[in-house]
C-alpha cells in the first residue's frame, strides 16, 4: 500500500533505502530472490513465526495494518502483496533488469506479457488458496484436544477433513498441477524463453506443492518432470542461493 505518498516515483529511486520485512518460511522469500537477482542494496528485517500457531507475529502490524509479510518499504512507499512488490521493483529499478533479466517484464501486447500477467495473478488468486486450505485440513485433525474425548472425536474430525480434501480441495489441485506441468512442457520459464516476474511469483506455490503434495523429490520428478526441472533451474541460480542463505528455508 502506498497511501502515505501523494507524489510520483522519485526521479532517482536509488536515493532511498529499500527495506524488506520478511517473515521466515513464507511468501516473502521470492521478493528476497528478486532483490538478489537485481543486485539491489536492501535492508532485511526478519520476523519469526509465532510458536504454536505459526502465524505472523504482531510486530508486523506496525509495518502495515494487515500485519502481513512481505512488505517492502522504499522511502515513503509501503508496498504490500507479493506480486505488487515484484512489479514495483521491476518498474522502479528497470535499469537493473538487464542481461538474464531483460525480459523480467515482457513487452506489452505479446503472448509472453499475457502469460506473465496470468501467472502473476494465478499464483495467489487460484493456486495458493487451495494449497492453504489443504494445509488447514491436514493440520486440523492433529490439533491438541482433551485426552478424554480424543479417542471418539479424533477419528470423526479425521474423516471429515479427509472428505473435504477428497471432494473439494483435491479435485482442484489435481487439475492445477497437470495444467502447470503441461505449460512448462512447452517452455523453460513461465512466460516463455526467459525468466520473468511470473517465475518469482510462482516459485512459492510450486515449492509448497512439490514439498507437500508429491511426498518426496523423487516422486515429484516422476509425477511432474517439467515442474521439477523448472524448480531445479530456479534452485541452481546463484541469486536464489544467496536469498536462501539470508532468508532461511522456504518451507516448514
As measured in angstroms, the least distance from the Cβ of 187 to a second copy is: 9
CB 92 within 8 Å of CB 15: no
How far is the C-alpha of 190 from the C-alpha of 183, rounded, in Å?
A: 8
As measured in angstroms, the least distance from the Cβ of 44 to a second copy is: 22
As measured in angstroms, the least distance from the Cβ of 153 to a second copy is: 6
As measured in angstroms, the least distance from the Cβ of 71 to a second copy is: 11
User: In this complex, which beta carbon is closest to a second copy, that of residue 44 or of residue 157?
Assistant: 157
How far is the C-alpha of 56 from the C-alpha of 47, rounded, in Å?
A: 8
Q: Note the residues at the interface with a second copy (CB under 8 A).
A: 1-3, 5-9, 53, 55, 61, 65-68, 77, 79-84, 87-88, 91, 108-111, 114-115, 117-118, 120-122, 124-126, 128-129, 132-133, 136, 140, 153, 156-157, 160, 164, 167-168, 175-176, 178-179, 182-183, 186
User: In this complex, which beta carbon is closest to a second copy, that of residue 117 or of residue 228?
Assistant: 117
As measured in angstroms, the least distance from the Cβ of 124 to a second copy is: 3
Can you read off the three cell numbers belonging to residue 242?
544467496
How far is the C-alpha of 63 from the C-alpha of 84, rounded, in Å?
A: 16
As measured in angstroms, the least distance from the Cβ of 235 to a second copy is: 24
How far is the C-alpha of 116 from the C-alpha of 179, rounded, in Å?
A: 16
User: In this complex, which beta carbon is closest to a second copy, that of residue 50 or of residue 219?
Assistant: 50
User: In this complex, which beta carbon is closest to a second copy, that of residue 85 or of residue 239?
Assistant: 85
State the residue for C-alpha cell 529499500.
Answer: 18
Q: How far, in Å, are 130, 143, 231, 241 from residue 26 at the CA level?
A: 16, 22, 17, 16
State the residue for C-alpha cell 506489452.
Answer: 108
User: In this complex, which beta carbon is closest to a second copy, that of residue 8 or of residue 15?
Assistant: 8
Helix (H) or strand (E) segment spanning residue 45: strand 42-47
User: In this complex, which beta carbon is closest to a second copy, that of residue 165 or of residue 221?
Assistant: 165
CB 32 within 8 Å of CB 44: yes
User: In this complex, which beta carbon is closest to a second copy, that of residue 201 or of residue 239?
Assistant: 201
How far is the C-alpha of 191 from the C-alpha of 198, rounded, in Å?
A: 7
As measured in angstroms, the least distance from the Cβ of 26 to a second copy is: 13
Question: Sheet holding 18-23: strands in order across?
Answer: 42-47, 18-23, 71-74, 77-80
Phi, psi dihedral angles at 190 (to 5 degrees): -60, -35
Amino acid at each position: 500500500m502506498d497511501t502515505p505518498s501523494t507524489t510520483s516515483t522519485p526521479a532517482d529511486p536509488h536515493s532511498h533505502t529499500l527495506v524488506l520485512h520478511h517473515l521466515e518460511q513464507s511468501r516473502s522469500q521470492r521478493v528476497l530472490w528478486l532483490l538478489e537477482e537485481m543486485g539491489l542494496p536492501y535492508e532485511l528485517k526478519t520476523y519469526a513465526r509465532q510458536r504454536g500457531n505459526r502465524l505472523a507475529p504482531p510486530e508486523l502490524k506496525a509495518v502495515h495494518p494487515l500485519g502481513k509479510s512481505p512488505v517492502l518499504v522504499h522511502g515513503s512507499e509501503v508496498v504490500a502483496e507479493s506480486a505488487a512488490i515484484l512489479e514495483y521493483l521491476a518498474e522502479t529499478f528497470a535499469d537493473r533488469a538487464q542481461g538474464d533479466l531483460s525480459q523480467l517484464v515482457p513487452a506489452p501486447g505479446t503472448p509472453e506479457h499475457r502469460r506473465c500477467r496470468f501467472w502473476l495473478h494465478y499464483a495467489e488468486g487460484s493456486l495458493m488458496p487451495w494449497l492453504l486450505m489443504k494445509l488447514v485440513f491436514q493440520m486440523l485433525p492433529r490439533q491438541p484436544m482433551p485426552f478424554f474425548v480424543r479417542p471418539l472425536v479424533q477419528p470423526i474430525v479425521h474423516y471429515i477433513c479427509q472428505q473435504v480434501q477428497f471432494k473439494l480441495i483435491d479435485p482442484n489441485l489435481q487439475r492445477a498441477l497437470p495444467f502447470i506441468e503441461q505449460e512448462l512442457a512447452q517452455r523453460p520459464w513461465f512466460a516463455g524463453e526467459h525468466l520473468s516476474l511470473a517465475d518469482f511469483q510462482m516459485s512459492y506455490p510450486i515449492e509448497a506443492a512439490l514439498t507437500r503434495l508429491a511426498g518426496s523429490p523423487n516422486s515429484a520428478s516422476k509425477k511432474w518432470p517439467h515442474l521439477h526441472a523448472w524448480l531445479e533451474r530456479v534452485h541452481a541460480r546463484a541469486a536464489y542461493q544467496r536469498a536462501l542463505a539470508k532468508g532461511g528455508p522456504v518451507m516448514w
